[in-house]
Each structure stands twice: as C-alpha cells, then as structure tokens.
Amino acid sequence: MQNNKTLEKEIESNSNTVFMSEALDELLSEDIVSHKNAITCCVKSNNGTINFDLLSKETLDDFSIIRFICKVDSVLMLEKGDILDIGLLFEKETFKSFSKDRYTFELCWKQENNNYLVDIFINKRGD
C-alpha cells in the first residue's frame, strides 16, 4: 500500500522524535489478525465468573463444544463448582447463551505449556 510506505519513511526519518502509538503500530502491521475482534465467552459458575477469547465452537444437532485456553486457577474454579451459564459475546453484546435450566455441561481439559486447553461439552436437556 503506497500510504503505508510513505508513512513508514516519514516515521523512520523522524525516529528520534516520534513515538509510535499502539493504534499507529496496528495500522502499519502486516498482521491482519490483530485487526479482528474476538468473540468472548463468559462462563458463570457457583464459584465465580471467567471470561476468555473463544478458540472454537462446534455444534451438532443439540450438542455443542466450546474451546478456550486458560490458567490453572480458572480450571480449578470450574472443576470445583457447577457451571450455571455460558454466554457468547461480540463487542460486549450477547448473541448466544446456554443456561443450566436448558443445557447440561461437561468439562474436559489438558495441559499445554503452562496453559490449559479446555473443552466444555454442552448438551440440550430433553423436554
């Protein structure tokens, strides 16, 4: 992009006096992923609430799986309590939710490099 190159040259020529802001750094970045907003998942249990960036969600009929990465304290919080509600949010607005009244939840996780890859299996209750 021509404007990108012009802007980069200007910044380089003034590098001693110009401090790059995060917004400007993102504009110059070649990484397209940094410009996307993530879907956030909010899991409420009787021990507290955790929020995380959703890695994936798969749905087959009345069965769904959500996947995320978290630290050990979040895994312990979920293991020690019951999941009450799961909400999927985009830009702070809930577009999908699962409550324990209509769904059952099963937790599965594995350790990967001091992080934990967590799957929550969501199954619709029979009517």
- What total of structural domains would you count in the chain? 2
Angle ∠(119,121,126) on CA atoms, nearest 5: 175
pLDDT tens by residue, 85-104: 999 999 888 999 999 999 99
Residues 9 and 65 in one domain: no
Residues 119 and 93 in one domain: yes
Query: pLDDT class for 110, splitting at 50, 70, 90?
Result: very high
Residues 56 and 110 in one domain: yes
Going by C-beta distance under 8 Å and a sequence separation of 6 or more, which residues neighbour residue 12? none
Residues 16 and 46 in one domain: no
Residues 20 and 73 in one domain: no
- pTM (predicted TM-score): 0.68
Task: Round to whole Å and give the CA distance between 75 and 19.
Answer: 40
Tell me, what's the pLDDT at 23? 54
Strand ranges (E), 1-127: 40-45, 48-53, 56-60, 63-70, 83-90, 93-99, 103-112, 115-124
Residues 86 and 99 in one domain: yes
Centroid of chain to Cα 19? 30
Task: Round to whole Å and give the CA distance between 81 and 4.
Answer: 51
Q: How many other CB atoms are found less than 10 A from the CB of residue 68?
A: 22
Residues 13 and 61 in one domain: no
Range of the domain at 59: 40-124
Residues 44 and 104 in one domain: yes
Q: Which of 87, 47, 88, 54 lies closest to 68, judged by CA? A: 54
Tell me, what's the pLDDT at 116? 94
